[in-house]
Amino acid sequence: MVVDNKKIASNTIALYIRMIVVMAINFYMSRVVLDVLGVIDYGIYNLVATIVVVFSFLKSSFSDATQRFINYTIGNGEHTQLSKIFSTCLNCYFILIITVVVLGEIFWMFWGASLNIPQGRYEAASFTFQIALVSFSLSILQVPYNAAIVAHERMGVFAKISIVEVLLKLFLTILITNMAFDKLKMYSVLMMFNAAVIFTIYFIYCRTHFDYTKYISCFDKFLFKRILSFTGWNMLGSLSGTLSESGVNLIFNVFCGVILNASIGLSNQINGALSGFIAGFQTAFKPQIVKTYAAKQGQDFHRLVCRSSKFSFFLFFLVSVPVICNMDYILHVWLVKVPQYACTFSRIILLGSLIDAMSGVFYSAIGATGKIRNYQVAITSVFVLHIVVTWVLLDLGIAYEYVFFSRIFTRGILNFLVGLYFLRKIADLQYSEYLSRTFVPIVKGSLIPFLIVILLVCLFDGGSVGMVALNTLVFEIVSMVFIVRYGLSPNERERILNVIKNKIKK
């Protein structure tokens, strides 16, 4: 199998167009939602959504398994098995939906009343939770069809559907502005409607373009066990990651109430929007990484992993650092009322995501080998450590910003080191190779630009649109020069320059 760099490039462009549109609309939509619902109801919605998202470890685990098996089967040429694989995965999703609903109802029945919800809003929170379960179930059904589109690298289609989804969300959000009903309840119902529409679009497209997505009644015991084995160990890491994110939110609720949940929700919203740039890029790389490993092309596999890790960091570096440095001004322009700690939490989570940008590809690369048990156990330990540290620090009365900062050392640095260790052990990617191809170029390409923008922000007041534009422009120009000159290999630099020249000629 030959690595298709042109397809990776075109898919990346499609995904970036998607992310620019989605990010812009999400930022505006967050302002509208916060303004319409108010800080209290926004905090309640974030808390309820957090509880439902706790169960997303099931969804993400089966999603990764579906993509991995479809990609691997395409890579090794066994196309006749695709129909059986897809239908077996779909059976797993039906089981998953039942599991999510049952676990969700049990949780709310026994622990819902003990949550720190303001007086008079419990009934609305309970209604929102039930609707959120339905929305989540619809999103689960969407995943195998989404996986099929990504596996076939139809990123243009994926991008268009995502844009439709976010535009519909925006329309529905604006729709509730002048409604006389309970806005929290109405918002949750309209988000459920959005999930139903998007599932229908995915379903129709896949049934039309991929014959193997038509469900067949089958039960291959060996295949079922393989998928469940991969999913089971994958689920361990996904569960711990979800608990580390959502569990920390719940812990902050216990100690601080829903106001701080609003700040955490906004910081996660900003991080999610910017991290989408990396997710889109790594989505474009992921099918090629799995297919290259399936075709037993070790050197190409290593190069793809190193290149994806390096490019992921640079791309997130370019979009996140200006936001980090000008966060206070951005939040005050963006929001009607900025919740306490929102600025600090947002900066911290983005700094941690700079490290995550490098290590995000490790997950896909190790998953391609199918040998994920020990890796999942290791990262689970790190995620549990994050939860424990958060609880202990809050219990000791440590300042909230320092408690939140602990995620950089646990979820960030430790996760990166764990992933690098298992890549060497399982996929034979040597430390020296990653160091020379990825880490050293990252330091050369980013350290000086980062110091320059910090200096500019310290010397000049960033409280005006002119100064924000100036320090951002200087940072982007200096960063691009250093990244092209010191962050890229001669071959990578030549390819990028050729692409630019061809675009100019056209």
CA 416 to chain centre: 16
Q: Could you give the angle at which helices 258-294 and 122-151 cross, rounded to 10 degrees?
A: 20
Distance in angstroms (rounded) separating the CA atoms of residues 361 and 315: 14
**Tokens 């066990």 correspond to what residue?**
225
pLDDT for 88: 82
Burial 466-501 (b: 16+ CB within 10 A, else e): ebbeebbeebbebbeebbeebbbeeeeeeeeeeeee
Give every CB contact of residue 448 below 8 A, 6+ residues apart in sequence. Answer: 478, 482
In Å, what is the CA distance from 458 to each residue of 65, 265, 348, 452? 47, 28, 18, 10
- Inter-residue contact 135 to 195 (CB < 8 Å): yes
Tally DSSP H helices, then E strands, for the chain.
19, 0
Using a CB cutoff of 8 Å and minimum separation of 24, what contacts does 294-300 make? 294/1, 294/71, 294/72, 294/74, 294/75, 294/76, 294/368, 295/1, 295/75, 295/76, 297/1, 297/3, 298/428, 300/3
The answer to whether the CB of 93 falls within 8 A of the CB of 62 is yes
Of 157, 349, 163, 364, nearest in space to 244 by CA: 349
- Chain centroid to Cα 101, Å, comes to 23
Token pair listed for 30: 């967050």
Contact present, 281 and 289 (Cβ < 8 Å): no
What does the block give as tokens for 308? 């994806």
Neighbouring C-alpha atoms within 13 Å toward the C-beta of 306: 27
Q: What is the dihedral of CA 46, 51, 52, 56, to 10 degrees?
A: 110
Torsion of CA 186, 187, 191, 196, to 10 degrees: 10
**Is the Cβ–Cβ distance between 362 and 372 less than 8 Å?**
no
In sequence order, the 6+-apart residues with CB closer than 8 A to the CB of 221 are none
Exposed, middle or buried: residue 406 (CB in 10 Å: 0-12, 13-18, 19+)? buried
Longest Cα separation, the chain: 67
Q: What is the DSSP string of 394-428?
A: HHTT--HHHHHHHHIIIIIIIHHHHHHHHHHHHH-
Dihedral of CA atoms 475, 439, 272, 291 in degrees, nearest 10, equals 130
Q: Tell me the mean pLDDT per 10 residues along the chain, length 506.
A: 58 70 75 78 76 64 76 72 82 82 85 78 86 86 84 81 87 79 85 91 90 79 78 74 76 74 80 75 77 80 89 89 87 78 87 88 84 87 88 85 84 90 90 92 91 80 75 88 88 72 60
Angle at which helix 122-151 crosses helix 56-75, to 10 degrees, equals: 0
